[in-house]
Structure 1
Amino acid sequence: MDDRKAVRDHANILRIIGEEVRANVNDLKFVSEIGYGDNGHVCNYACQGQNMAVKEKVMICMEEAAACLDRVLRRSGNTPVPEEIIGKIAVIVLTTLVYLMEKHNVVDWSVRPSNILLDWNGTVKLCDIGVSSKLMNPVRCQHGPRSPTYFAPERIDPNASPDHDTRNNVWSLGIIMIELARGKYPYANLLNEFHVLSEILRSEPPVVNQSEGFSEEFVDFVSLLLQKEMERRQNSS
């Protein structure tokens, strides 16, 4: 028997990002294949035997991580992260997104600080990929209970094209880079999520400046990631 089987081969219900979707064992195998893959920056699939299935709940075991970027910021008292470290994180995230797209045809719909992890050796890992992006319809995923405050403008605007690619995630990474560089989310002064989404659509993208102590290269790179029009935005390659 395949040691990755968690449920029977007939269709079953899984709850993904707050919605019930129909899945089968091949979908779970897909998650494990990513976790067993040759990219060192995707959270590893950690089950030694079978997954655990209890009634309608399926538990997928992943490797342990030390912390996510969100927790690192909070535990440090929102101390800004050095530019050199942010640059290394950005390169890893971008190359991993390319790997997921080219090897598995997966777009991670939820790039945010809580989904970028550090293991005990300081290795950067991406998590929360695979099941949600493979099983969820892109439109449902777009409007589901994810992290819309990191969404690119075209994912918020109801009149925008429904097409999505890694450039959506590139915007999210740009927001994260500013958050790490300053120690706070760039829209932190706004009252609620509605105001944040309105500001993303209405205003020019946030920027960093050399007057803040950032290098010209860092400023230019963030600007490339945070182009409001998707067609002008740097892609992940």
Structure 2
Amino acid sequence: MYQASAGSAVGEARLAQFFQAHNDGYQIRQELRETILFTPQNLIADPAFSRVDLVSCRNLLIYLEPDAQQRVFELFHFALNPKRFLFLGRSESTDPDSTQFEQVSRAWRIYRRTPVLTRAPAGYRFSTKATREESPPASRVGTRNKGYAELVNATLLEVHHAASVLTNSAHQVLYLSGATDEYLTQPADEPTSNILDMAREGLRLNCASHCAGQPSIRPARRSARSLRTGQRAL
């Protein structure tokens, strides 16, 4: 919900295209909201998304130590499409010697991803020492209903200590939970979100069979952990 005064900053054309009047202000149109995926993302612990055109990360890196900042930049470089953009806060910048990003606007802290080839960062967890002591305390949030992804994540990690992957009918990865490095990896060329391309060599045939709705050709190496595609498990 935006105040009526916000319309002057957006402009009449964009206001008509993307907003609708609501009470005494404006609201983003439903059809636009439905194209956006909202999900919690922990830069310190969670795997990165891929094929992203813009990463806006403002006034977060100033609370991280240099080694943690570097790992976060690795995640951003992996997540972004070639020549796409990273938007930082006014007090933040990439390493001047970085080969991962090139500066587009110094004043606005806008950077462009370079075509340097990198593999998916192997491991996403940092110790609590990675954050500065002056970091503000986490706010206390009231009880709320958990989304499906959160419930799946909590159950698998707390009860089974398992890695899991949620995909759609086109085999595109929507959500990752736990340490999936043992099962998935990114190919050496452009990043992909297709689980058939990401499955490691020993699991590709098994994964393809499950995606096609056929019985497993052979079980996964560790029965205590599973790789989930839709509602089928390897």
Structure with higher Rg: it is 2
What range is the shorter-chain TM-score in?
A: under 0.3
Between structures 1 and 2, the one with greater helix share? 1
Query: Normalised by the size of structure 2, how large is the TM-score?
Result: 0.26
Return the structure number with greater relative CO, CA threshold 8 A, min gap 6. Answer: 1
Query: Normalised by the size of structure 1, how large is the TM-score?
Result: 0.26
Between structures 1 and 2, the one with greater strand share? 2
